[in-house]
């Protein structure tokens, strides 16, 4: 949709954006000491957002263990994310127990869940 009139003049903005229409900040989870932030959502609720973490909950044969993350090996969605040590869903991480794949969206859930690959 054009922001100009037929005459060539600019159309006026009819209103400002409402709070729910404003874009949120990018929630990239990096490798490092745990850092979280609480964000107020609609209805007065809160969402815990993970910004940095160096531990993951890994599912090994039906049992869950908290394991230290050593490195981010690859990210299928974008190879540049792995270089910057950013963890997203589907990223392959190196842990003390071996390689693991992240199964959740850590930027929205406040924790990192993974499944052992090897």
Closest alpha carbon to 57 in 103, 107, 118:
103
Give the separation between CA 91 and CA 79, rounded to whole angstroms. Answer: 10
pLDDT at 20 over 90: no
CA distances for 68 relative to 23, 58, 72, 100, 112, angstroms:
33, 10, 12, 11, 11
Domain parsing of the chain, residue ranges: 27-116
pLDDT tens digits along 49-89? 899 999 999 998 889 999 999 999 999 989 899 999 999 99
User: Which residue's entry shows tokens 């930027």?
Assistant: 107
Assessment of whether the complete model's pTM goes beyond 0.95: no
CATH class of the 27-116 domain in this structure: alpha beta
Please, which residues have CB within 8 angstroms of residue 5's CB and are 6 or more apart in sequence?
A: 11
């Amino acid at each position: 949709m054009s922001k100009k009139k037929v005459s060539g003049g600019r159309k006026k903005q009819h209103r400002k954006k409402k709070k729910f229409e404003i874009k949120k900040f990018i929630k990239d989870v990096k490798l490092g000491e745990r850092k979280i932030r609480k964000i107020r959502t609609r209805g007065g609720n809160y969402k815990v957002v993970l910004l940095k973490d160096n531990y993951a909950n890994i599912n090994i044969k039906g049992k869950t263990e908290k394991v230290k993350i050593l490195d981010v090996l690859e990210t299928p969605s974008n190879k540049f994310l792995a270089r910057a040590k950013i963890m997203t869903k589907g990223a392959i991480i190196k842990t003390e127990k071996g390689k693991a794949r992240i199964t959740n969206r850590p930027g929205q859930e406040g924790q990192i869940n993974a499944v052992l690959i090897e």
